[in-house]
Amino acid sequence: MINAYQQLPQVIGHRGACGSAPENTLASIHEAGRQGARWVEIDIVLSADHVPMIFHDETLNRCTDGAGSFYKQNHQQLKMLDAGSWYSSDFIGQSIPTLKEAIEVIAQYNMGLNLEIKPLLGLEVETATRAIEVLKESWPPHLPLLLSSFNIHALKTAEALWPEVQRGLNVEVIPFNWQERLAEANCSGLHIHFPFFESEIVQQIRQDGYEVLAFTVNTPADAIELIQNGLSAVFTDYPELIQQALEENQANSSEAVWGLDLI
């Protein structure tokens, strides 16, 4: 299995490219590929009949024309919902993808994947188990794969079932006992909410051999500052915009250094 963190780009499309298409839909993943994203991040949850599907919320209200608990609907019922019209009339008819459907699109663009496991409390083991079953059947082995979660039980299940795949621990704030937390989860990376970025701590974490990623970074200035101060990568709704900003900043920095060399 590929070491995912060694293949890590600086920019990862968040829920596809959800600044330009409805989040966690095939349209959003296609848009990330069109924008040139090297990796995408998407969320996995279970339907009532335990089919792994790409969705973020516990309820259907925000991102579909349905209502109520996601987990009480079987996958056939969920597939009948419109998951695009809430975003724009251009996306009417987008459905909630299964994990297998999402993998097929990701593979078309040769993108890496950070799959976030988002279990309902009580379904931690089942969610990780079913996701890994589908991944083992469908994930192209030549593409990088990373599993992440806020849930320690999901991460431990992932480790037990597929230890070759690296894992990232999701948190909002960098915990004061980050060493113990990462060791307990046996994760290779820490994924944080970017407003809680602390340069000195991040540099220490990276010196200890872990990667540090931040979500969700949607302005070029923030992305440039975070990367310059030691962050490994950003999750963003606008991968093309952020990638271009980082490349332009790097080019300008190189030109400045080159100019100094000539003096």
Question: How many domains does the chain contain in total?
Answer: 1
pLDDT the model gives residue 245:
98
Q: Is residue 52 a part of any domain in this protein?
A: yes
Identify which has the larger pLDDT, 180 or 2: 180
Assign 94 a pLDDT band (cuts: 50, 70, 90). Answer: very high
Q: For all residues of the chain together, what is the average pLDDT?
A: 96
Q: Is residue 97 a part of any domain in this protein?
A: yes
Q: Is residue 182 a part of any domain in this protein?
A: yes
pLDDT the model gives residue 253:
79
Q: Answer whether residue 158 shows pLDDT above 90.
A: yes
**Cα separations in angstroms, 85 against 47, 58, 95, 202, 223:** 21, 19, 10, 40, 30
Q: Is residue 204 a part of any domain in this protein?
A: yes
Q: Is residue 47 a part of any domain in this protein?
A: yes
Q: Which of 48, 42, 72, 15 is nearest to 126 (CA)?
A: 48
Q: Answer whether residue 78 shows pLDDT above 70.
A: yes
Q: Answer whether residue 156 shows pLDDT above 80.
A: yes
Q: Is residue 2 a part of any domain in this protein?
A: no
pLDDT the model gives residue 140:
97
pLDDT the model gives residue 261:
58
Cis status of the peptide bond prior to 216, with omega within 30 of 0:
yes
Q: Answer whether residue 172 shows pLDDT above 80.
A: yes
Q: Answer whether residue 33 shows pLDDT above 80.
A: yes
CA 170 to chain centre: 10
What counts of helices (H) and strands (E) characterise the chain? 9, 9
Q: Which of 114, 104, 119, 178 is nearest to 148 (CA)?
A: 114
Q: Which of 122, 105, 104 is nearest to 21 (CA)?
A: 105
Annotated catalytic sites, by residue? 14, 56
Q: In DSSP terms, which residues pair with 53 in a beta bridge? A: 45, 98
Q: Is residue 4 a part of any domain in this protein?
A: no
- Owning domain of residue 17: 9-262
